[in-house]
Amino acid sequence: MIECLFANLECRDVLSEEEKAILRAICCRASTIGSGSDIVSQGARPGVSTLIIDGFAARYKLLEDGRRQITALQIAGDFVDLHAFLLKTMDHGILALSACSIVVVDHADLRKVTETEPHLTRMLWLDTLKDAAIHREWIVAMGRRSSKAQLAHLVCELFMRLSVVGRVVGDSFQFPVSQTVLADVLGMSVVHLNKTLQSLRGDGVLTWANHQIEILDWAALRHIAEFDPTYLNLQREPR
């Protein structure tokens, strides 16, 4: 069930069987969320944190005029609002972009982990640090990359993250997201995203149809994006 979380953590450090057992024990309540509904709402003070088992979710903020910016994409194996455990009040919402299987963990149980399991605590901390590293990379992409490079970079990132949790088949992965949503991820208009996408398609580096992305030329895509996966911390070492 929560093997995707193990995959996520274990590509960064070794997890003992006891630690896995603890995680299994506290990740008790499972459910599903329909596409388009909030997993956590802005301003909420949840008593639980949510782990995504399957599906895509997004963190987002709304401006007063109704425009939206998505600040993170969360996939299977992501502890999507672990940070609410310590931040308490949600300063943003979390939205299911597709139907999502989730599991929730009581904050009381997480607290117990921090009291008794230092290594596991560090691993969970690390998981939130990885999210922050992704945020920084997005800031770079938004501030200094061309729209084409920004989009290419996102595809590279998703490809790497999804392969860690076994969601990549060959050179393809499911990406059940409309162009409107993707525009809100990249901070551009739908029209411009559409043209940027077609420019990438025209270069023959990827295809995107039926909610599935296939990478045709990884080297070229990576070159367009100037993609360097260091920030994803996919190194297994003692933490």
Which of DNA, a copy of itself, none does residue 81 bind to, with CB < 5 to 8 Å depending on kind?
none
How many residues lie near a copy of itself (CB under 8 A)?
52
Q: Cα(159)–Cα(103) distance, rounded to whole angstroms?
A: 24
Q: Is 212 in the site for DNA (CB under 7 A)?
A: no
Pick one of 98, 101, 114, 174: the residue that binds a copy of itself (CB under 8 A). 114
Looking at the Cβ atoms of 78 and 137, the one nearer to a copy of itself is 137
Query: Could you tell me whether strands 212-215 and 172-174 are parallel, antiparallel, or unpaired per DSSP bridges?
Result: antiparallel
CA pseudo-torsion sign 162, 179, 134, 23: negative
Is residue 81 within 8 A of residue 94, CB to CB? The reply is: yes
* Shortest reach from residue 146's CB to a copy of itself, in Å: 10
Assess 156 for contact with DNA (CB under 7 A). Answer: no
Quick check: 140 binds a copy of itself (CB under 8 A)? yes
CB 222 within 8 A of CB 229: no
Cβ atoms of 79 and 109 closer than 8 Å:
no
User: With binding defined as CB under 8 A, does residue 230 bind a copy of itself?
Assistant: yes
Cβ-contact 183, 193 below 8 angstroms: yes
Contact call for residue 71 and a copy of itself (CB under 8 A): yes
Stretch in the footprint of DNA (CB under 7 A) among 90-98, 101-109, 175-183, 228-236: 175-183
Q: List the x/- string, 181-200, binding to a copy of itself by CB under 8 A.
A: ---x-xxx------------
* CB closer to a copy of itself out of 72 and 205: 72
Nearer to a copy of itself, 188 or 206 (CB): 188
d(CA 157, CA 213): 13
Q: Which of 177, 34, 38 minimizes the C-alpha distance to 95?
A: 38
Q: Does residue 29 belong to the site contacting DNA (CB under 7 A)?
A: no
Q: How far apart are CA 133 and CA 233, in angstroms?
A: 9
Nearer to DNA among residue 47 and residue 204 (C-beta): 204
On whether the CB atoms of residues 72 and 94 are closer than 8 A, the answer is no
Q: Which residues contact 239 (CB under 8 A, 6 or more apart)?
A: 12, 13, 119, 122, 123, 126
Residues within the interface to a copy of itself (CB under 8 A): 43, 59, 61, 63-64, 67-69, 71-72, 83, 86-89, 91-92, 114-115, 118, 121-122, 125-126, 128-133, 135-140, 142-145, 184, 186-188, 226, 228, 230-231, 233, 235, 237, 239
